[in-house]
Structure 1
């Protein structure tokens, strides 16, 4: 039996500080790199076609979590889980327009916790979700937020010179109302332009300027969250990144049907992908457009990889790399035609599995990898412990655990599963993922356990999720359901204030081979 530890074990890092101007026992800086819609389509995760030398270099200098998962596969809630250390099922923040301060007016975010303990906190690009009526949360940071675009075009023909549907949503130009009267923007764009023509290039440049300013006047340790938009749709990236790939060699979906025996409402239909031309607003996307979209996704990943490389190069050039903890996190995965689905918004593997890389000088072993299941909510406590800060406490429930023991020893284990969720209409799908299985339990308001819909997948025998095995393997279902039942039920709104964290963690069962 593997248990998530209830203990918070602070450590002090003795890091070399060649050019920082601070003492050798000073707290480390923190650089948190957030990438929108990034699945583990990366060379360091074994993807045979991905051209990602910068992220691969970061992985080679730190630790790679092989089994990391989002707590909910959609932008705003996923970022709240990261920044609060609280799952959506604890906060009730499930939607794109969910307001943190309306639901949790006194919640303490990760940057606020670091600021309270002497850090100068800054944010650039997409950190909290902005758009869809959501203003984000710039007040979490000491410096004014550096905002840039998520949906952006440089070619007139991509928009017809008009405000497009998704631009309106992400600019909060028409929040909270359907925008079907607006035209659709292009799903992809391959313009022959410089990297800084798009937002991610500008975010990288501004992040470098912030690092240079710090290096010139290292008053307090920095906590910088740099958020990159690609590979979020539209797949707009400079042409040279498209040219890195031969479309004929890109991987096409191996299995493009919904899982047999799965509830119909668990499927992903339409949604975000239909808001872009020339894709069909109804019906399936054909092979030619599928290949073009996959090409665009990989080109966008290579583009953002280059921007991350610019930032990592600046850390090296400024002598800050040995003083700085670097974390790279994808907010959730992305369907690329598997099951016939696109984008995220499901409980399936392609939507929930994320890359998570950590380089902590003096702690992580270069080029190491861990099988420890990791959740987005774990990062808050992990970074606090690595920085020698007290365990985070706030009125919000703290659901995460510190992964620092695993960073010190990749064979260490603090738990044997991850927990995630996704709401569909009035139903909530709560899920546990172990090394081998995923169980999803779907329940509506007032629905008892006996009448719940269940999904069970065995990734050892069926990695493509072809068949729901819940009816065929009742013993496995019962074992996994016992784990799921030890998690609190999902709340429909925010919890009451003044709840201390971390919450007691129940004993769990299941084992890493479940």
Structure 2
């Protein structure tokens, strides 16, 4: 099929996009736009597009051409279940995939579960992947990694993810050198290192930008986007940085001189009003050592450098759209699977229900978009991406989807969303984000409440404030409904 210029079909496209009218298969194939997913691993809200300190000019450029969701939240603050929720359109309470270990396909009810790329294939699309979209990338092997969900794709680019150089920062026991042996587990596999003691490193890769796996995945996507295709396509490209280890080419470290790095604000009494169940997790000891051994400034530098490296890869991908034949008929959705913490509330990485862990940069751009460059601060969920893509593509939505289309927010600047964004971390721990509030209830019944209008960094738990009882009751009802589902 020749490249479609949707400008000439603008009226039809607008009708289909806004109202989701179904079409016959023949009509749908004739007018469907392409879809580009750019998935970023572990990038938090420090992006400059969101007012943060990281230098991300390509994300800024895309936000000016599309719509930025500053208050988007992951479904689960962990890579595997977050991506499963996005790609299946259902919550962990439905799929059973609550945590990182395991393949969702092995859980009851998931063997034949329809994913977004599979559903689009059923509606005339070609589904192509590069890098990490599900929990793992395809890899370079003869057979694709099972956790890349190979049954979802017509083709996966055979490549690794991230950058090389990790081993340069490890000691003989595969633990971060800077730890000086502080986190060895005695008596286990010859003092086997823990996850964070192995991957909690930051530094320069000996690779040039163009030699890295992330760049090669971006380059593959850019080349694919620069070509004409006989069918509409769903192209998903996943960038591994800034996921740990934070290793990036020298040019990106040069953007952040160490002496200029400001570490996150960490009040000494920040955990005083936190329920006992949430005071610590497996990363808390690691956070203590990061601070004790003077590594927080270096870690922050590594994270920012990795963010800028990922942004450069984004720029390479977008070149393929801008300079190719698909510029005017491609929907672009840029998302990150969750946020990331650097010692905030005694946590490292993700795995919590606080905003720094759950807030996920999200940008959507589509053909004939009204009012590009606007942003919205209304709370939305990454669960909403599956139905949104279908609405924008004029494809009828299946009944199993549990998210809510973002098309009303995309097309009407005055639209007020009723649905909250709900995040689950392990079974029974749930966060509800709505308007300026973050309500958290843990499996033992303990609770937290934060008002982002007055406390955007969530330093003060206001669950006991009498004036907040009405909003607590409203948000608690969403938790009760989900638990009783």
Q: Does residue 184 in structure 1 map to residue 198 in structure 2?
A: yes
Aligned to 2:441: 441
Aligned to 2:276: 264
**SS of match in other structure, 1:346:** coil
1:59-78 → structure 2 map (5 Å cutoff): 59-78=63-82
More helix by share: 2
Q: Does residue 33 in structure 1 map to residue 31 in structure 2?
A: no
**SS of match in other structure, 1:72:** coil
Relative to structure 1, is the Cα distance of residues 293 and 356 closer, same or farther in structure 2, using a 3 angstrom cutoff?
Answer: same
1:381-392 → structure 2 map (5 Å cutoff): 381-392=387-398
Relative to structure 1, is the Cα distance of residues 241 and 482 closer, same or farther in structure 2, using a 3 angstrom cutoff?
Answer: same
Number of residue pairs aligned between Structure 1 and Structure 2: 440
Q: Does residue 80 in structure 1 map to residue 89 in structure 2?
A: no
Residue 145 of structure 1, CA deviation: 4.9
Q: 1:341, 1:134 → 2: CA distance?
A: 30
What whole-Å deviation, never above 9, does each CA across 1:209-250 have from its counterpart, x for those lacking one?
3224x42xx210110010000000111100010111233333
Q: 1:436, 1:325 → 2: CA distance?
A: 29
Q: 1:302, 1:179 → 2: CA distance?
A: 37
Q: 1:478, 1:376 → 2: CA distance?
A: 25
What whole-Å deviation, never above 9, does each CA across 1:139-178 have from its counterpart, x for those lacking one?
111113534135x43376334688779xxxxxxxxxxx98
Aligned to 2:3: none
Residue 31 of structure 1, CA deviation: 0.4
Aligned to 1:315: 321
Residue 208 of structure 1, CA deviation: 2.1
Q: 2:104, 2:167 → 1: CA distance?
A: 36
What whole-Å deviation, never above 9, does each CA across 1:457-505 have from its counterpart, x for those lacking one?
2222322222322233344322321233333447xxxxxxxxxxxxxxx
Q: Does residue 249 in structure 1 map to residue 244 in structure 2?
A: no
Residue 316 of structure 1, CA deviation: 1.2
What whole-Å deviation, never above 9, does each CA across 1:305-344 have from its counterpart, x for those lacking one?
0111011112111132211110100100001222232110
CA contact (8 A) 1:34 1:228 kept: yes
1:346-365 → structure 2 map (5 Å cutoff): 346-365=352-371
**SS of match in other structure, 2:238:** strand
1:296-375 → structure 2 map (5 Å cutoff): 296-375=302-381
Aligned to 1:112: 118
Relative to structure 1, is the Cα distance of residues 284 and 63 closer, same or farther in structure 2, using a 3 angstrom cutoff?
Answer: same
What whole-Å deviation, never above 9, does each CA across 1:185-227 have from its counterpart, x for those lacking one?
6701213532133221111122123224x42xx2101100100
Aligned to 2:454: 461
Aligned to 1:9: 19
Relative to structure 1, is the Cα distance of residues 413 and 58 closer, same or farther in structure 2, using a 3 angstrom cutoff?
Answer: same
Residue 365 of structure 1, CA deviation: 2.5
Aligned to 1:99: 103
Q: For structure 1, list consecutive stretches of 5 or more residues without a partner in the other structure.
A: 1-6, 14-21, 166-176, 275-279, 445-451, 491-514
201-210 vs 409-418, which moves further: 409-418
Q: 1:489, 1:296 → 2: CA distance?
A: 43
CA contact (8 A) 2:164 2:207 kept: no
**SS of match in other structure, 1:443:** coil
Aligned to 2:473: 478
1:223-234 → structure 2 map (5 Å cutoff): 223-234=234-245
Residue 51 of structure 1, CA deviation: 1.2
What whole-Å deviation, never above 9, does each CA across 1:64-117 have from its counterpart, x for those lacking one?
112100011000000011001111122221121232222211211000010000
1:187-202 → structure 2 map (5 Å cutoff): 187-191=201-205, 193-202=207-216
CA contact (8 A) 1:126 1:147 kept: no
CA contact (8 A) 1:12 1:386 kept: no
Q: 1:352, 1:111 → 2: CA distance?
A: 25
Residue 181 of structure 1, CA deviation: 2.3
Q: Does residue 237 in structure 1 map to residue 237 in structure 2?
A: no
Q: 2:436, 2:199 → 1: CA distance?
A: 40
